[in-house]
Amino acid sequence: MTLSARDFCLSLGASTKIMGIVNVTPDSFSQDGCLAQKTGFVARAVRQARKMIREGADIVDIGGESTRPGAKRVSVKEEAGRVIPVIAKLAKNVSVPISVDTYKPAVARRALDAGASIVNNIQGVRAEKELLRMVRDYNAAIVLMHMRGTPRTMQRNTVYTRLIDDITASLQKSIEICLEIGIKSDKIIVDPGIGFGKSAEQNLEILHRLKEFKRLGYPVLIGTSRKSFIGQILEKDVQHRLMGTAATVCAAVLNGAHIVRVHDVKAIADTVRVADAIVNQKY
């Protein structure tokens, strides 16, 4: 399986790819936002991204709006002001794809102009057609994530008829819309949306049954890093969930994930390497 994103081509399957998270926000749930202090945030974000690449990140994902439960929207101007300078500077100096974590067409366009190759859209199942046409025209890749509502409202409705079937059906519909618009199949990634409109038990079910998403026929991205369901299991705060995150990443790899999205790249790179060796029965 191959992922094509503008000038980049990633081979998926033999080894799990790592997407490093760079939050250019003041209010990230993971407490790693580069905007905790407003001055110098571009340099901090660029340093963080470069460090992740040295540690093994195959993709860096730049986001300027928090998507934690209850988070409020920020304006296009504010979000673009956070992420575009970082993407523009990174694009000149790194040799891995840059992903922009946004659902706003205006931000996505500026990010693509600045050098991004992937649009990571948390509203993937309800993505605006303007954004999808833009992905097509720029020859970029797109992540289609499953989420109900918005980050502010998503945890109000976590009742499903059949969890995996419901998520799969929504993702399939999104895929079909992308294909109809003209996005090529090697540019589509699906994400079941761990923590986005799901309870802790449902997140565990998704991980346990992840292989069932293979029937969609597209690369699967999983983002469990430091999330609250890990904290609920371990009874630990966000800064003490590394080993729990590693366990979820290992489960995801063993169950067929192609890309894992994480904060702690160095530690998770070791986890992924061993998990891949188990899957492939060689190293």
Given pLDDT bands bounded at 50, 70 and 90, which one contains residue 27?
A: low
Average the pLDDT over 265-275 and give the result: 97
- Rounded to whole angstroms, the Cα distance separating 25 from 251 reads 29
Residue 9 is assigned to a structural domain of this protein: no
Q: Is 214 an annotated catalytic residue?
A: no
Total domains in the fold of the chain: 1
pLDDT on residue 52: 97
Give how far the C-alpha of residue 101 lies from the chain's centroid of Cα atoms, to the nearest Å: 7
Q: Is 261 an annotated catalytic residue?
A: yes
- Rounded to whole angstroms, the Cα distance separating 272 from 265 reads 10
Residue 174 is assigned to a structural domain of this protein: yes
pLDDT above 60 (res 32): no
Which of 261, 266, 273, 282 is flagged as catalytic? 261
Question: For residue 92, which amino acid is it?
Answer: K
Which of 173, 227, 236, 282 is flagged as catalytic? 227
Average pLDDT, the chain: 91
Residue 33 is assigned to a structural domain of this protein: yes
Residue 6 is assigned to a structural domain of this protein: no
Average the pLDDT over 35-46 and give the result: 76
pLDDT tens digit sequence for 120-162 = 998 876 778 999 999 999 999 999 999 876 666 556 667 889 9
Which candidate, 16, 30, 2, places its Cα nearest to that of 264?
30
Average the pLDDT over 217-223 and give the result: 98
Residue 2 is assigned to a structural domain of this protein: no
Average the pLDDT over 32-38 and give the result: 54
Burial of residue 37, with CB atoms counted within 10 A of its CB: 0-12 exposed, 13-18 middle, 19 or more buried:
exposed
Least confident of 108-112, 145-149, 212-216, 220-224: 145-149
pLDDT on residue 70: 67
Residue 7 is assigned to a structural domain of this protein: no
pLDDT on residue 77: 95
pLDDT above 90 (res 229): yes
189 in Cβ contact with 259 (< 8 Å) = yes
125 in Cβ contact with 173 (< 8 Å) = yes
Q: What angle do CA 102, 212, 140 make, to 5 degrees?
A: 30
pLDDT on residue 126: 78
209 in Cβ contact with 220 (< 8 Å) = no
How far is the CA of 112 from the CAs of 45, 100, 131, 134, in angstroms?
18, 8, 11, 9
- Rounded to whole angstroms, the Cα distance separating 238 from 226 reads 6
Given pLDDT bands bounded at 50, 70 and 90, which one contains residue 86?
A: very high
Question: For residue 199, which amino acid is it?
Answer: S
User: Domain of 175: which CATH number?
Assistant: 3.20.20.20
What is the reported pTM? Answer: 0.92
pLDDT tens digit sequence for 64-80 = 997 776 667 889 999 99
Average the pLDDT over 33-45 and give the result: 71
Which candidate, 28, 9, 43, 206, places its Cα nearest to that of 118?
9
Residue 93 is assigned to a structural domain of this protein: yes
Q: What is the DSSP letter of 124?
A: G
| Residues spanned by the domain of 165 | 16-272
Pairing of β 8-11 and β 2-5: antiparallel
Residue 257 is assigned to a structural domain of this protein: yes
Say whether 272 sits in a helix, a strand or coil. Answer: helix
